[in-house]
Structure 1
Amino acid sequence: MSFLGIDLGTGSLKAVIVDENGRELAAASVAYALDTPHPGWAETSVQTWWQALLDAAVRLPAELRRDVQAIGFSGQMHGVVLVDAAGEAVRPAMLWPDTRAQLLLGEWPEPQPNPVAPGMAGPLLSWIVRNEPASASRTRWALQPKDWLRMALGGAIATDPSDACATALADPAGAWDAALLERLQLPRDWFAPLAPSYAAGGTLSTKAAQALGLRAGIVLATGAADTPCAALGSGLAHDGDALLTTGTGGQIVVLAEQTPAAARGLHRYRAASDHWYRMAAMQNVGVALERVRGWLGYEWADAYHDAFGDTAAASTSTASSAAPGLTFLPYLTGERTPWLNPSARGGWLGLALDHSRGAIMRAAFEGVAFSLRAGLDAIRASGASVSALKLAGGGSVDARWRQLLADALDVELHAVDCPNAAPRGAAILGGLASGHWHAGDLARLAPGTTRVAGPRGDTALAARYARFLDLYGRVESWFDDASAR
């Protein structure tokens, strides 16, 4: 008996099969690029996602696929897929890094239960109504990415509270805000009914089963957004448990049994279980480092070596060996926590003739680490005490990068002994939806962890973090002025 978890990410689709005890048996990943047809846009064709799913499925052992009892879904948050009455996509999916709706954010007057960003479904749909009336007239459903995928596999039209509450169109518990939808002139019947993340959401169609090498009729869980799936897959089970995920973006999640108080720059969302969580969401982690690596013409192994030196040196030296006057702001796609500024942009300050390519790359690593620290500081200011973080995500495996994160964030890092936390969490939802597991089983399903880094009290790094914050404060108004022209 086994369960399949599918994570529909921004830059890749991951599929994981776990056994009846939650142990990973096989995994596959297929990367793809997002499209930017106009400045500030971020889109992907749903056919790109579908082909990635087919490619991932064929990489999983056929005998394991035949044994799958249920499928769970995890998906990138905030974006939206418009489909017609036949379930066909009206246009490419719009994704969370998209900033085209930035000028519409004033339609969400303060106070809001959560920060509103232009790449959320609400602002994006408002933009569609104003700028693509033909697309709006064809739309029957406005779906979250993972909900589109479940529908494409034969499942029910539904969504869950963890995704709904992050659309800027629902209350903190995830219920659609009918008054807000009316004010924004968004049809109420575009929005799918709610079901728990762990509820059954239909069964796999014969056509999809044949395409994927699975058995028709197996249960499809409703699923959840990728961050709560990663928290579930990483074993967050108790109040105060905390997780750092690094991928295209970065999230710091702290689990809560009760609804967290609102705090500027932080999100408070529903978990995949019946918990809540507070979250700092930083948009520019892997996406910024990948772009800098490309600009500098690095392969990843060389980028790490030139930025940090060899692994042995990194484990014994402090982080203060970087160029002291060089600062990188990583905000290539605007930023959410803590700045709530979609106009924020990136760059280096302090470049000199003697700076090497490695020094420029190192500054980029530090800038991304500092942006994560700014998010963690917002969580700490909200009243949560965080001295240790579980660590998950494909962008956090290099020992030198982990040490920099521990130093910059001033935390102990405990790597989750599970390389695919979000799809594993999705697979667990599949097991819950099929009745194999129950809520009381979640704590025992938590994977093991390994302490991989701790803070070394690097005062020079702390000074560079202060410089980073000072630099952003000095240029913030300039970014706003530039975006208005």
Structure 2
Amino acid sequence: MHFLGIDLGTASLKLAIIDEQGRERAASGATYPIETPVHGWAQTPVSAWWQALVDAAAHLPSEARAAVSAIGIAGQMHGVVLVDAHARAVRPAMLWPDTRAASLMDAWSEPQPNPVAPGMAGPLLRWITLNDPQAVAATRWALQPKDWLRMALGGSVVTDPSDACATALAFASGEWDHALIDRLSLPRGWFAPCCANSYALAGTLSSEAAHALGLPAGVALAAGAADTASAALGSGLTHDGDALVTTGSGGQIVVLSSDEPTPARGLHRYRTATGQWYRMAAMQNVGVALETVRGWLSYASWPDAYRDAFHRDAAPTNGSKLSFLPYLSGERSPWMNAAARGGWLGLSLDDTRGTMMRAAFEGVAFSLRAGLDAIRANAHASGGAPVHRLRLAGGGSVEPRWRQLLADALDADLEAVSCPNVGARGAALVAGLATGHWREADLPALAPPAEHVASPRGDTALAARYARFLDLYGRTEGWFDAPF
């Protein structure tokens, strides 16, 4: 008995098959581009998602595929797929980095259950109703990405609380806010019924999809979960206060909560795959900022960049006053400032590209700390568990010196999760829950191993530079939004 997890990400799709003991038996993946036909747009044809799924499935061993008894899906949050009455996509899927609706945010006056961004389903659908009447006339369903994929596999047209609560069209609980939907002049009939949880059964794999993927027809399909909720589950977060930091293109800090968190500006409070809650700080400029800086400084490889940045001659203790704001594309948590911008301040004739690269690493680490501090303050105010230890995941978190800087900046112990496919693993666990093979009480024992990789060293000089970083952001916060 095997369980297949599908992780439909922004630029790639990952698959993982786990067995009845929760051990990973096979994994694969495929990538696809994000299209930007107009400045500020971010979209992908759903045909690219389907082809990626077919290609990735073909790289899984046939014997592992033949043993699959249920499928779970994790999907990128916030975006939306419009389909007609025949389940055909009306237009390419619109994705969370999309900013075409940035001028339409006035419909979401404060307070909101969660911060609202232009790339969420609500603003994107408002843009559609104002700008694309043909799409409006053709649309039967407005689906979240993972819900479209489950439908394409032969499943039911439903959603789940972990995805619905992040659309800017629902209450924090995940139930649709029909009054808001009506006020935006969006048809109520566009929105799929919401299941009780992510592991509700939601149809079976069609014979056509089974043939395309080399899987048994008729296997169970779970409703599935938002990618962050799935990654938290796949990383082993199960108890109140369990925390995860991910460092991909952006960064996320997720902390589980048994009770509904109190609202806080700049923080999200979303539902987990199992009906709990989590606080989340979402930072836009982590890997994308570091990769951009590496290009600016003409480093041919990451090892070269790490070598110079963490060489003793680049250490700020050698007299450099250099600071770096990483907000190259605005920022979400904790500032919620789309106009924020980045750059170095404090350059001197003595600085080198090594000191500039080191300042960039510190600036990104400090931006993550600002998000974590917001979570800590919110948790403290509401009696939540303190955060002194975080699991660490993400492709940009393997360099030991970078891990140590993160531990020092976050003032927390870091434990690296051994599983590279936490989103797909979480989706596979949801499939096992859906069929009754596991119960929620079994989940702690199914957590992947995590190796302790760094502890904070109580670096007082780093703490002073963090205070300087916060002061620098505060001084420039309104500057980039001011007219020339």
The TM-score with structure 1 as length reference comes to: 0.93
Residue type at the aligned position of 1:59: H
Tell me the secondary structure at the aligned position of residue 261 of structure 1. coil
For 2:316 and 2:21, how far apart are their aligned partners in 1?
Answer: 44
Q: Which residue of 2 is the match for residue 436 of structure 1?
A: 437
Q: Work out which of the residue numbers 338, 342, 345 in structure 2 matches 1:342.
A: 338
Q: Relative to structure 1, is the Cα distance of residues 34 and 327 closer, same or farther in structure 2, using a 3 angstrom cutoff?
A: farther
Q: Which residue of 1 is the match for residue 200 of structure 2?
A: 199
Deviation string, structure 1 residues 373-427 (Cα, Å, up to 9, x no partner):
1100101111142111111222222212211110111100011222211111000
Residue type at the aligned position of 1:340: M
Q: Which residue of 1 is the match for residue 395 of structure 2?
A: 394
Structure 1 regions of 5+ residues with no counterpart?
none
Residue type at the aligned position of 1:89: A
Tell me the secondary structure at the aligned position of residue 348 of structure 1. strand
Q: Which residue of 2 is the match for residue 301 of structure 1?
A: 303
Deviation string, structure 1 residues 137-186 (Cα, Å, up to 9, x no partner):
22211111111111121111111000100111001110000000010111
For 2:172 and 2:38, how far apart are their aligned partners in 1?
Answer: 32
Residue type at the aligned position of 1:269: Y
The TM-score with structure 2 as length reference comes to: 0.94
Q: CA deviation at 1:85?
A: 1.6
Give the conservation status (yes or no) of the 8 Å contact 2:314–2:358: no
Matches within 5 A, 1:227-306: 227-297=228-298, 298-306=300-308
Q: Which residue of 2 is the match for residue 209 of structure 1?
A: 210
Q: Which residue of 1 is the match for residue 109 of structure 2?
A: 109
CA RMSD for the aligned pairs?
2.0
> After alignment, is 276-285 or 456-465 more displaced?
456-465
Give the conservation status (yes or no) of the 8 Å contact 2:320–2:351: no
Residue type at the aligned position of 1:30: A
For 1:156 and 1:363, how far apart are their aligned partners in 2?
Answer: 50
For 1:59 and 1:106, how far apart are their aligned partners in 2?
Answer: 47
Give the conservation status (yes or no) of the 8 Å contact 1:7–1:14: yes
> After alignment, is 239-248 or 346-355 more displaced?
346-355
> After alignment, is 205-214 or 167-176 more displaced?
205-214
For 1:398 and 1:73, how far apart are their aligned partners in 2?
Answer: 30
Tell me the secondary structure at the aligned position of residue 479 of structure 2. helix
Q: CA deviation at 1:318?
A: 11
Give the conservation status (yes or no) of the 8 Å contact 1:236–1:242: yes
Q: Which residue of 1 is the match for residue 358 of structure 2?
A: 362
Tell me the secondary structure at the aligned position of residue 142 of structure 1. strand
Residue type at the aligned position of 1:226: D
Q: CA deviation at 1:197?
A: 0.3
Q: Relative to structure 1, is the Cα distance of residues 413 and 354 closer, same or farther in structure 2, using a 3 angstrom cutoff?
A: same
Tell me the secondary structure at the aligned position of residue 479 of structure 1. coil
Q: Does 1:141 align with 2:164?
A: no
For 1:336 and 1:69, how far apart are their aligned partners in 2?
Answer: 40
For 2:252 and 2:345, how far apart are their aligned partners in 1?
Answer: 26
Q: Relative to structure 1, is the Cα distance of residues 230 and 321 closer, same or farther in structure 2, using a 3 angstrom cutoff?
A: farther
Give the conservation status (yes or no) of the 8 Å contact 1:155–1:204: yes
The number of equivalent residue pairs is 477
Give the conservation status (yes or no) of the 8 Å contact 1:322–1:363: no
Structure 1 runs (4+) greater than 6 angstroms displaced? none
For 1:319 and 1:391, how far apart are their aligned partners in 2?
Answer: 24
Residue type at the aligned position of 2:444: A
Q: Percent identity?
A: 69
Matches within 5 A, 1:47-86: 47-86=47-86
For 1:332 and 1:35, how far apart are their aligned partners in 2?
Answer: 20
Q: Relative to structure 1, is the Cα distance of residues 323 and 161 closer, same or farther in structure 2, using a 3 angstrom cutoff?
A: farther
Q: Which residue of 2 is the match for residue 372 of structure 1?
A: 368
For 1:355 and 1:29, how far apart are their aligned partners in 2?
Answer: 42
Q: Which residue of 2 is the match for residue 414 of structure 1?
A: 415
